[in-house]
């Protein structure tokens, strides 16, 4: 299945399209768009230093914004119910905010990530492990 057909199977609860948007430079800066979001605090405190030591690339197939003739300003091609949590970009490129997004859905939380955990976890990158644990713990925070 090609990237263009990503959501043909309705893998997301709301409309969204993953594209070939990627961040290939493993040292590319990462910005926490909402540092107060719980995904950055439970069970681990996530800090900018947690993105140090990543290998090969930051991520691939992010949800993205569309640019081009006739579009004017960037238009987001994911549903407004998704909340972008991180921003990153290769040098000289525009920021990509669709690499980690979350949305409430029913009684739960849906999280999409294009960040390259498939590379970071086998390599034992500590910050990636901490963030991944937070992602799979989302919705289980103690009140």
pLDDT digits (tens, 9 = 90+) for 80-120: 899 999 999 999 998 999 999 999 999 999 999 999 999 99
pTM: 0.85
Whether 86 contacts 30, CB under 8 Å: yes
Three state DSSP letters for 4-64: HHHHHHCCCCCCECECCCCECCCCCCEEECCCCCHHHCCCCCCCHHHHCCCCCCCECCCEC
Dump pLDDT digits (tens) for 48-79. 999 999 999 999 999 876 554 444 445 557 88
What ranges do the domains of the chain cover?
A: 13-137
pLDDT tens-digit readout, 15-44: 887 788 899 999 999 999 999 999 999 999
């Amino acid at each position: 299945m090609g990237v263009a057909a990503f959501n043909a199977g309705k893998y997301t609860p709301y409309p969204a399209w993953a594209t070939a948007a990627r961040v290939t430079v493993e040292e590319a800066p990462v910005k926490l768009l909402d540092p107060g979001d719980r995904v950055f605090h439970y069970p681990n405190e996530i800090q900018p230093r947690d993105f140090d030591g990543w290998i090969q690339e930051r991520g691939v197939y992010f949800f993205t914004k569309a640019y081009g003739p006739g579009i004017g300003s960037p238009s987001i091609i994911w549903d407004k119910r998704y909340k972008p949590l991180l921003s990153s970009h290769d040098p000289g490129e525009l920021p990509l905010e669709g690499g980690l997004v979350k949305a409430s859905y029913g009684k739960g939380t849906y999280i999409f990530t294009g960040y390259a955990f498939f590379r970071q976890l086998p390599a034992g990158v500590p910050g990636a492990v901490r963030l991944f644990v937070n992602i799979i713990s989302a919705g289980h925070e103690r009140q």
